[in-house]
Every structure is written in C-alpha cells, then in structure tokens.
Structure 1
Amino acid sequence: MTDPRPLGGPAAIWGFLRSLLIYFGRPGRAAAERRLYRQFVAAGDLVFDIGAHVGNRSRSLRDLGARVVAVEPQPRFADWLEWLFRAQPEVTVERCALSASQGRARLSVSRLHPTLATLDSTWQHQVAAARGFSHVRWESEVEVPVETLDSLIARHGRPAFCKIDVEGHEAEVLSGLSTPIPALSFEYTPAVPAAAEGCVARLEGLGRYRYAVSIGETLNLGAWLDAAGLRSWLAARRPTERSGDIYAVQERS
C-alpha cells in the first residue's frame, strides 16, 4: 500500500517507509505492546492514542478489544491510518493535534524522521544536541487544526486509558484536560525534564496518581512510584540518557 497523498519528495517517502519499518517490522513488538496495555485496558474500553503516527499502538489497543480514537495531525499519516483501519469501525481517526486550547498551529516536521513532528519549538531547540536527536532537522512546517482533550472527551466520551506521545508538548495536551483519566502514559525526554515535570504537576492537580517508567522501547515497566518518587527519579536522569514513557494510574479514594 502506498500513501495516496503526495509525500513531498524522496526524503519524505523514505521517512514514511522508515516509520513503517520501525514500528511494524520488529518481530514480537505487537505482542509486547499488547502485554503492556493489557494492564490498563479491557475489552470494550474507550482509549485515546494521541500522536498515533503509523498506528501500531492503535492496532495493539484495538486487538485487545478496545474502541480507539487515533489522533494524528500529519496529513500523510492520517491518510495512512484511515486506510489501515478502513474496515475497523471501532477505530476513529481524528486529523488534528492536541494542546491547551482549540485553534490552529504550525507543526514542525522532519521529512526523514516524521515520528518527531512537534508543536513545541522550545523542546525542538532543547533536544537538538541530545542523544538520538543531533542528526534530526525540522525543515518543514504544516498548519494543522488543534483540539483539546476536553473537546475530544465531549465528542467521544472519557477514555479508560490515554497514550500521549507528542514530542515535548505533553504538558500542554494535559493542560487541555479538566477531569482526571483513570490511566494514561506520556513521553519523557531526559534532556528536557521540565516537560515531564509539567505533566506530573498537571495530573496531581486533577487527582492522585502512581507512576511507572518504561525506558526507551523496552515496553516493560519499572517499580511504581508516587509523585515525589517520580520527581526524584526524573531529577537524577542525565541529559544523554534514553527517552521513554511514564505510565500513570489514578489512585482510588
């Protein structure tokens, strides 16, 4: 299957194919994703995949029986998602970015590394010299519609789980949320600790959560921590360490 939209030249074509290879070409990855998400998602649950990209995690969540809202602002990848899930009515594709308020914004895109598209210019500059980012160039921009988590919830309902991977803009996404979500994940980058700390502050303003970290692409969780423990763990990270994802589960009263 080729993407039905123009891809913007050889670099963009290679970037698109590279993303497919990275996220769909690794044996055992889908099974590992399902094992991870089974801890948070049950059949029939509604889940949000914010920053769905090529849809590998949306597919794993769907395979667990969840109803998935896949949010992707890059037009060529949103087209791909609509094709990939064309026969799956339980997956809805939202062609937008998320932030603290609704409107429109400029999305910075790397043609060779489109997985690193971001709305956050500050994050973009801060990670430029970090491990895994020094070779990345954001040479393109596209204007995209912007929604909030609250507006998404108003349209689809409150999710049982929400994955947020938006390259440094995670705290802004959570700023557009006014009610707690039972479980979620957000990306962290050691070179920009303030972004993850902003996520923790927002979540703790909505409720009390416990947290576990998955380093890199291991898809394995470390020990569960309270907010203070997670902040200490984040503060001890060196800027050259790998990025990963933080999983948060709301504590019951």
Structure 2
Amino acid sequence: MLARAWGLTRSLAMYHGIPGRHRRMRRFYAQFLRPGDLAFDIGAHVGSRVRPWRRLGARVLAIEPQPDCLRVLRLFFGRDPGVTVLPVAVGAHAGHAALALSSASPTVSTLSRDWIDTVTADRSFAGVRWDRTVEVPVTTLDELIARHGEPAFCKIDVEGYEVDVLRGLSRPLRALSFEYLPMAHDAMPAALDLIERLGAQASGYEYNYAPVETMHLASDRWLDADDLLTLLDRYRPRNRSGDVYARLR
C-alpha cells in the first residue's frame, strides 16, 4: 500500500506539479486541436493531457484501466461534462487481459509481457518491479469511434502495447501520437507500417518527434516514415524516450 501511495504521489507531482507544464502543452497541442474537437487520451494515467486539452476547448475521452489512476481522473474530471472517463484498456480485439501493475512506478504498467522482457534488459529499468496484476476489459479504437465519434487527435501511451492498439483501428485519423522508447526501437517499423496502411486510404501521413515531454518537435519539417526512423536513430544512443506524432498530409 505504501508503494502504491508513493507511486501515485510521484505521478501527480511529475505531471501536475511542474510550473508552466500545462501552459506549454496548450501551446503545443493547439496545432492539433480546436474548440469543439474530440480527443482520445489512450493511457490517460493521471490526466496530464486532459487538463490542457480542455483549456483548448476540446472534448476528451480519457481511457485508463489502472484502478488508482481512475480514482484520480474521476476526482479531477468527474464533474466536467466535457470529459468522459472510461475504465478500460485498448487493444487489437475486444475482451479481457491481464494488466501488469508497478505500484512504485505506475507510469510503466502494461499489458505487454514482451515489452517488460525488453525494457528490463536496460539498466534504466533496473529498479522497476511489476508486483501485481489485475484483469481489465479491453476495447478497440474502432469500437470507441463507433460509440463516441472520430477524434481529431488520439494520443496512445500504453507502454509497449501501441502496435496492438493500432491493430484495432481500420480508418485514418486526422492526427495521432504514440510513445517511443529507444530500447524498444524494433517495434517502430510495425507501428509505422500500420499507420502508413491507414494513411493510404487518405492523403498519407507525415511524422515528427518530440523528446521526453519537451512539447517541442525535433525536426523543423514534417518527415516521411523513412526520414523519421533516421531521426530516431540519432536519439537512440541518448536513450531518451518521447512521442512520435503523425498527421495526415
């Protein structure tokens, strides 16, 4: 219980306690969201994106399966009619799955055992322990869109389960992002292939990268998939995570 309280407190301090953080997020996400738009926050955690997106006038679907984080989301946003909190995970198929929880580091809770095996080989994860599991319901992006509408922007941050989330999407979205970890770089081609196939239904996608919650794009121009991989190769030796952004051309 002490580890869970400490982990949640650390997340709140990290994502809500840094001065100017939400202001920087508002400026950054204004390029993707306008008043009245719908945004999906897949892996909402403690709602660091929800607050700035609401300040931009967007409606938010906050999707989070972790019980402790759900309590925070409902406390912060439960009375906001512009926010819908869903206690589910998102994957390739609807059903149920085992969510591996890290009490002391809830940001790395995951549905992917393969991802755990990958990252624990890196020394930056040496102190992380996944000490319990809960069974959670799983839905798909297609089902969420059918029920709530198509989002103008979709953030996917699900600790190694991003490809599975994308496999549950059958239409191109206007813009989306997903987490990138250098030690899990080998998953990038599969994620980009899925996005490129979706983009082929429309005008195609272009990409950029923002390192480590900087809210600053690494390239001064938007890139094709091959150029994005070249850019990410420059960040791999630094072992710095971040988010890949994709938007329709």
Q: Judge same fold: TM > 0.5, yes or no.
A: yes
Does structure 1 residue 209 correspond to structure 2 residue 201?
no
Does structure 1 residue 153 correspond to structure 2 residue 145?
yes
Mind listing any 5+ residue stretches in structure 1 that lack a counterpart? 1-8
| Residue in 2 that maps onto 1:229 | 227
* TM-score relative to the length of structure 2: 0.94
Contact (CA 8 Å) 1:130, 1:240: kept in 2 or not?
no
1:219 alignment partner, one of 215, 221, 224:
215
* TM-score relative to the length of structure 1: 0.93
| Residue in 2 that maps onto 1:199 | 191
Report how far residue 87 of structure 1 moved. Answer: 2.1
Which structure shows the higher helix fraction? Answer: 2
Mind listing any 5+ residue stretches in structure 2 that lack a counterpart? none
Bigger Cα displacement from structure 2, 122-131 vs 26-35: 122-131
Q: Deviation digits for residues 79-111 of structure 1, max 9, x if unmatched?
A: 221121122100000100000000000001110
| Residue in 1 that maps onto 2:84 | 92
CA distance in 1, matches of 2:132, 2:71: 18
Alignment of 1:1-253 (within 5 A): 9-130=1-122, 132-207=124-199, 208-223=204-219, 224-238=222-236, 241-251=239-249
Contact (CA 8 Å) 1:187, 1:196: kept in 2 or not?
no
CA distance in 2, matches of 1:237, 1:122: 23
Name the aligned partner's letter for residue 50 of structure 1. Answer: I
Contact (CA 8 Å) 1:192, 1:239: kept in 2 or not?
no
Size of the aligned set, in residue pairs, is 243
Bigger Cα displacement from structure 2, 159-168 vs 229-238: 229-238
Segments of 4+ moved more than 2 angstroms: 129-132, 194-197, 231-240
CA distance in 2, matches of 1:175, 1:236: 28
CA distance in 2, matches of 1:115, 1:210: 28
Bigger Cα displacement from structure 2, 191-200 vs 87-96: 191-200
Contact (CA 8 Å) 2:4, 2:103: kept in 1 or not?
yes
Aligned partner of residue 49 in structure 2, secondary structure: helix
Contact (CA 8 Å) 2:153, 2:174: kept in 1 or not?
yes
Report how far residue 194 of structure 1 moved. Answer: 2.4
- Give the root-mean-square deviation of aligned CA atoms: 1.2
Contact (CA 8 Å) 1:131, 1:241: kept in 2 or not?
no
Aligned-residue sequence identity (percent) comes to: 51
CA distance in 1, matches of 2:21, 2:123: 23
Contact (CA 8 Å) 2:157, 2:178: kept in 1 or not?
yes
